Each structure stands twice: as C-alpha cells, then as structure tokens.
Chain A
Amino acid sequence: MAELVLAACSSHAPMMASAREAATREQQEVFFGALAHLREEVDERGVTTMVILSNEHFTNFFLESFPQVCVGVGERNRGPAEPWLGIEQGWIEGNPELGGFLTAGLLAEGLDPAFSHRLDMDHGIMTVYQELDPQHRTKLIPIVQNCAVPPLMPLARSWDLGVALRRAIDAYPGDERVAVIAAGGLSHWVGTPRVGDIDEEFDRWFLERLEAGEVRSILDMPDEEIALAGNGAHEIRSWVAVAAAASSDPASPAPATVLAYAAVEPWITGMGVVEFP
C-alpha cells in the first residue's frame, strides 16, 4: 500500500531561483535552511513520488479552457517553462499509475479534475521541486490549480480536494512513499500598482492558523477577502489542500510546524515553509 510519508508547504517565487542572492543572507538562511531540512526528510523517509500542487500561471491553460484542477498523469512532464529561471530545463519522470489512480480517486470523491499526459511545469512547481530534489530523481506528479483566474475554486473546496487526495493515496495498492507538497503564496501582488508589497500580518496570521490546526476555521473566506493580501495570496489554496491531506482524519487536522518565514521584498513575496507531522 502507498503511504503518505511527508506533507509540507512552501512559498514559491521565480526569484528564489533566478535572483537568489537578492534576498538578504539571513533571509536566504532561514528560507533555504527550511527547504534543506525538507530535502533531508525526502531522503530519510525514502520518498518515491512527490505530488506538488501549485498555481497555473497561464503555462498550460489559457482563457479558452481553464480547469480548476489538473493532475499530471503522464510518464514525464517538462520543466521549467521559463528558460531564464536558472534551473536546467528537462523532462521529469512522472508516475502515470499513481497519477491515474489519484485522478480516479478524486472523481470518485466528487471532485472533477482535468488530467494531462504532458504538463509544462513553471516556476510554481519547479522552484520547490529543485530545492527538494536537485538531481530531479524523484518521480513527480504535478497538480496545477487555478489560483489566478476568477471564478476560483472556493477555499472550502480546496480543503475537500486535499481530503480526497489523501484518501486516494491511502487507497493506492502500489508500494509508494508519497510526499504531498504545496508550492505557492503567501501574500504578494502581481501586475498591479501594489506589486512588491507584502502583507506580513496576513502571512503570520495564516501560519498561526496552520500551527493551531485551525485551517477549517478560515475556509469561509471569500476571494474578495483573500485578495486583500494580494492577488497572489489566492495561492494559499494549495496550502489548504495539503493541510487537509496531511491528516488521515480530516476531522482532526494535523497542526503544522512553521519552519521558516521571511518577508522577502526582492522576491515580492512572503516566503514561508511549514511541515506537518
């Protein structure tokens, strides 16, 4: 049987790869130190497949057709899409058996994900995957979510996505050790007059909810309220889904451990990392 052996969330920003040195030394040590800890966990726990959830940034889908969720079920996917990112472009091995099983499991649970046999993975997934496995040896199932183009999946539905994802992982008959990772957020603004602002108060409040295992108490947040922490803050959907997936009993959410937080202005994003037990 498959086993979920690691659940964690990390902010992403293209500049964490392309302009790493723009952050202060202390910010780099805090943020990348936390990701180095997760990288060790990936090794020590023998992760065989990572499932990484992140925002779709018009890399695979456009306005003509825009799924709320799309599971990468292909034998391989390509990334990063951005040649300037500072990560070598190439093919990353997928896990079609598990990816297909997860897709079927989500369908059986009432979610209706799209699927793709070939996803292009942009900075959203690749920056975090690169930190967790610089050799790109771990099989990767990308799940892209719509966190950018209204109408968006409600936060409560993202929780349901995580619950269903966990049930599907637990039900998989194959011998896999799975890590479920969120890559996105926290507060940031993109393409607006507030680009560069960071709402540290929101970020710390959200992280406190995760630490307290209280994510369910904020699932009623409407998009208009989330947007007060920036149009990029909608990416907390991935964190909410992973918070749900982290516990085998959704009625008893697992409290997260905050490994890092830094408001990294050169990366225009509140950069946090959490791990679930």
Chain B
Amino acid sequence: MHRCVYDYVRANEQGRPEAFDVARYDLSEEEREAFEDRDVAAFYQLGLHGVLLNRYCREIGYSRDDYRAILQPFAVVEERRGRWQS
C-alpha cells in the first residue's frame, strides 16, 4: 500500500501520471478500495504513514483543513504528558 501510494504521488508530482498503474501492486481488498475511492479516512485507518498521507491529500486536492476534518473522528485524547507541559 505504501509503495502504491508513493508511486502514485510521485508520478503525478512529476507530471507523468501515465507511469502509474495500480494493477502492478499487490493490494488487499481494503487497500484497493481505499485507493479507488480516494478514501483518506480508510488510508489513515490502514496505517498509511502521515508524511505520505499528507502528500496524497495534497495530490488529490485536499487542503490540510479538508483532511483534518476527515480525520477528526479518529482523534484520540492524549492523556500522557511531556516534561515541558506545566
């Protein structure tokens, strides 16, 4: 999945989308559906790395505010505290 999304983003960033073919990747059914549906929430739940998710969202035209709203249902209240937190 990571390689698939990475190659998709890179091909489009480099202006050669024809170089990408999703059929080349050994994706699970969930992963393939997420890709075909451009389902950012599904990618997040499937564990796509944040840096790649950010780049993918940019590539498909989502602003950070857009994808923050999509991901909000998955936000977890952090109970741990760092040593800098008063």
Measured CB to CB, the residues of A under 8 A from B are 57-58, 62-63, 81-83, 148-149, 189-196, 201-202, 205-206, 218, 221, 224-226, 228-229, 231, 268
Whether A229 touches B50, Cβ cut-off 8 Å, given contacts A83-B13, A196-B68, is no
A-B contact count (CB 8 A): 77
Question: What are 19 A-B contacts defined by CB distance under 8 Å?
Answer: A58-B6, A58-B49, A62-B3, A62-B6, A82-B13, A191-B44, A191-B52, A191-B54, A192-B44, A193-B68, A193-B71, A195-B68, A201-B84, A205-B84, A228-B78, A228-B80, A228-B81, A229-B84, A268-B64
Q: Give the complex CA separation of A191 and B74 in angstroms.
A: 12
Chain B's closest residue to A206 (CB) is: B84
**A58:B81 contact, CB within 8 angstroms:** no
Interface of B is mostly: helix
**A225:B83 contact, CB within 8 angstroms:** yes
**Chain A residues near B81 (CB-CB < 8 A):** 228
**A196:B3 contact, CB within 8 angstroms:** no
Measured CB to CB, the residues of B under 8 A from A are 2-3, 6, 13, 15, 44, 48-55, 57, 64-65, 67-68, 71-72, 74-76, 78, 80-86
Chain A's closest residue to B68 (CB) is: A195
Whether A202 touches B82, Cβ cut-off 8 Å, given contacts A191-B52, A191-B54, is yes
**B52:A58 contact, CB within 8 angstroms:** yes
**Chain A residues near B48 (CB-CB < 8 A):** 191
**Chain A residues near B57 (CB-CB < 8 A):** 191
Whether A201 touches B51, Cβ cut-off 8 Å, given contacts A58-B6, A62-B3, A62-B6, is no
**A191:B51 contact, CB within 8 angstroms:** yes
**Chain B residues near A83 (CB-CB < 8 A):** 13, 15
**Chain B residues near A206 (CB-CB < 8 A):** 84
